[in-house]
Amino acid sequence: MDQIVSDILVIGGGAAGCFAAIKAKESGAEKVLLVDKGYVGKSGCSKFAAGSFKCFIPDEDDYDLWFNKAVEEGYFINDQNWTRVHLDQVFDRAKELDAWGLTFLRDQAGKLDRLEGQGSSDQRPIKTMMFPGPMLMDVLRKTVHKFSVKIMDKIMITHLLHPKGDRTSVQGALGFDLKTGEPRIFKAKAVILTAGAQGFKAHYAYQKMVTGDAHVMGLRAGASLANYEFTCHHLTCVDFDTTGMNVLQGVGARFVNGKGEPYMKKYDPEYGDHACMNRLSAGMACEVILGNGPIYYDFSSFTKETLTYFQKTLPIMYLAFERAGYIRNGWIKKRIQWSSVNMGNVGYGGGLRINTRCETDLKGLFAAGDATCGPASGVEGFCAYAIPFATTSGAISGIAAAECISDAADMALDQEEIQRFMEELRRPLRRAEGVEPDAVVLRVQELLFPLEIYIVRHEKRLQHSLDAICELRDEVVPLLKAYDPHYLRMATEAANMVRCGELFLRAALARRESRGSHLREDYPAIDNENWLKWIILREGETGRIESTMEEIPLDRYPAKPDRNRTTHPIAEVMEGKWGYGNPTD
């Protein structure tokens, strides 16, 4: 079969992939190819991001405040070299976006109009730049074209390819055309994985296309993953999927419990309703455990001006609220039921391990954006870190890949491997009887989404879910059936969700302490004596997941924690009141 040859292959065309492709071209790579299983410009979380761009501005902001806050919210899990690189470069990326046509919100004097939303307090104000969300990817697709990057839409990549006789390098990828089902083989001296996160197709807006494909194909090829125990939490209206928490927090919405009581100060005394996601999410869960549910978002402080700002910054969500009858004639419903959602690692959390040049463990394989382990952020994507990190890491990966191809040997791909992967890929299409992908997706969600698994964790419950997910992996995934290329995509995504569920549960079981969003009822202490470690996951010869611990090199980093054990602040509030949902209870 013919190979589609380029110098650099970029897999996934969200903000990270577009920046990678543009910068690779700008740095001298001749043939850059961008492939996406959707349509670049209309696919990926980047298309639907709510327009919050957390950007450090050198002439306006206090560097130490931003750096230390990022590490504090990251609970010292950050690769602090990455945090510095990100802060150093993010404003340059914002200026480029501005020059390419993205309009950041400005006041009448033309000064950037920045919002004090999530993670901002009176003592430590941190401001977010805002842009009209849907505009970002229109601008990026146009710019990618302007730089003569070739785009192939509707191609799903399923496997990375090694050169013959060398499992330590990657020089290609295998996938299939989503319209015809034809297999496609790509050959390139460098491959950049920017295929996004694992969102477990959760009840949250516009992320059901990111199903951990990058994580699973990277893992299989021999790359390592980190931070998989740290899940990203998002909050949404219960009736339908919504987005834009940073804006709503910034303009004064607040959470109340079923008794109408505001409660967030109890769980986060400094930030209260401006808290970052993992504390908002834990606060919700604890109120429910205490019998104070359901949770509402209270909009009673909203004025006409607030609603105008809401409409300008979150046009899609505003329209949804109007259609639901929640907004009418300049009036907004006082309280709307709200809930937390497990979003895997959209925006922050686990993924491919990279150094500050976006190199993975494999020669020729780079990664950026949500496909990575979010090294700049650590435990929590400090406020709206995600799009900004996609731009900085995307740019770095493109530049580094362009540098690497100049001395990369051009080797033949391993044909035996290609045959094996093609056979594996087509298997669901050949099966006469089998299991529907949706059944597998639903089962994964049942095993991961209950609050007693992803918010308040305990060994018994995590192990129970892990046993069930391994059974799903061994007994059900091999029976997945596909009728056509669309179903083949669904089947592959479902299988990847099972694998990522296993990665999450194994990492969450391994970390025997509490830290940020990793809240262990059975290990309530933040243990800075024993657990300032990264958990690294790899795939062994037989496909088994192997985990190792690596000390975080804090002696070489500027921000240093106290080496002690303290009760996690949420566990402190809940002391003696846990014990929710154990399988044996």
Ligand X SMILES: Cc1cc2nc3c(=O)[nH]c(=O)nc-3n(C[C@H](O)[C@H](O)[C@H](O)COP(=O)(O)OP(=O)(O)OC[C@H]3O[C@@H](n4cnc5c(N)ncnc54)[C@H](O)[C@@H]3O)c2cc1C
Site track for ligand X across 213-242, x = CB under 6 A: x-----------------------------
Of 243 and 249, which has the nearer Cβ to ligand X? 243
* Cβ proximity of 51 and 314 under 8 Å: yes
d(CA 498, CA 314) in angstroms, rounded, equals 33
Counting residues that bind ligand X (by CB under 6 A) gives 42
Of 37 and 443, which has the nearer Cβ to ligand X? 37
In whole angstroms, how large is the CA radius of gyration of the chain?
23
Of 50 and 466, which has the nearer Cβ to ligand X? 50
Of 102 and 571, which has the nearer Cβ to ligand X? 102
* 13 sits near ligand X (criterion: CB under 6 A): yes
Of 160 and 571, which has the nearer Cβ to ligand X? 160
Please identify which residue in 144, 390, 418, 472 interacts with ligand X, judged by CB under 6 A.
Answer: 390
* Cβ proximity of 364 and 8 under 8 Å: no
Nearest distance, CB of residue 76 and ligand X, angstroms = 22
* 72 sits near ligand X (criterion: CB under 6 A): no
* 387 sits near ligand X (criterion: CB under 6 A): yes
Nearest distance, CB of residue 208 and ligand X, angstroms = 9
Nearest distance, CB of residue 221 and ligand X, angstroms = 13
Query: How far does CA 374 lie from the centroid of its chain?
Result: 8
Q: How many CA atoms lie within 13 A of 117 on its CB side?
A: 27
Kindly give the residue spans of alpha helices, DSSP state H, lying in 472-568.
485-510
Nearest distance, CB of residue 528 and ligand X, angstroms = 28
Nearest distance, CB of residue 341 and ligand X, angstroms = 10
* Binding to ligand X, residues 175-204 (CB under 6 A): 194-196
> Quick one: which H or E segment has residue 5?
strand 3-11
* 392 sits near ligand X (criterion: CB under 6 A): no
d(CA 335, CA 383) in angstroms, rounded, equals 24
Q: CB within 8 A of 180, min separation 6: which ones?
A: 485
Nearest distance, CB of residue 370 and ligand X, angstroms = 4
What is the per-residue DSSP string for 185-231? Answer: EEEEEEEEE----B-TT-SSTT-TT-BSHHHHHHHHHT--EE-TT--
> Quick one: which H or E segment has residue 129?
strand 129-130
d(CA 140, CA 34) in angstroms, rounded, equals 12
Query: How far does CA 582 lie from the centroid of its chain?
Result: 29
- Pick the piece of the chain touching ligand X (CB under 6 A) from 34-42, 56-64, 295-303, 313-321: 34-42
* 156 sits near ligand X (criterion: CB under 6 A): yes
Of 386 and 526, which has the nearer Cβ to ligand X? 386
DSSP 3-state of 306 = helix
* 380 sits near ligand X (criterion: CB under 6 A): no
Nearest distance, CB of residue 68 and ligand X, angstroms = 20
Of 142 and 563, which has the nearer Cβ to ligand X? 142
* 347 sits near ligand X (criterion: CB under 6 A): yes
* 277 sits near ligand X (criterion: CB under 6 A): no
* 209 sits near ligand X (criterion: CB under 6 A): yes
Please identify which residue in 7, 36, 452, 527 interacts with ligand X, judged by CB under 6 A.
Answer: 36
* 398 sits near ligand X (criterion: CB under 6 A): no
198 burial level (CB within 10 Å; 0-12, 13-18, 19+): buried
- Pick the piece of the chain touching ligand X (CB under 6 A) from 14-22, 285-293, 324-332, 559-567: 14-22
* 397 sits near ligand X (criterion: CB under 6 A): no
* 384 sits near ligand X (criterion: CB under 6 A): yes
Please identify which residue in 97, 346, 447, 494 interacts with ligand X, judged by CB under 6 A.
Answer: 346
Please identify which residue in 43, 198, 257, 281 interacts with ligand X, judged by CB under 6 A.
Answer: 43
* 120 sits near ligand X (criterion: CB under 6 A): no
Site track for ligand X across 458-497, x = CB under 6 A: ----------------------------------------
Cβ neighbours, 10 Å, residue 43 = 22
What is the per-residue DSSP string for 308-361? Answer: HHHHHH-HHHHHHHHHTTSEETTEE-SEEEEEEEE-TTSSSS-EE---TT-B-S
Kindly give the residue spans of alpha helices, DSSP state H, lying in 355-484.
386-405, 415-430, 437-448, 451-454, 459-471
- Which residues pair with residue 235 across a beta bridge? 340
Tokens of 302: 């909203």
- State how far the alpha carbon of 34 is from the alpha carbons of 61, 129, 147, 169, 401, in Å: 35, 28, 12, 20, 14
Please identify which residue in 17, 250, 344, 428 interacts with ligand X, judged by CB under 6 A.
Answer: 17
Residues of this chain that bind ligand X (CB under 6 A): 11-17, 35-38, 43-46, 48-52, 156-157, 194-196, 205-207, 209-210, 213, 243, 346-347, 369-371, 384, 386-388, 390
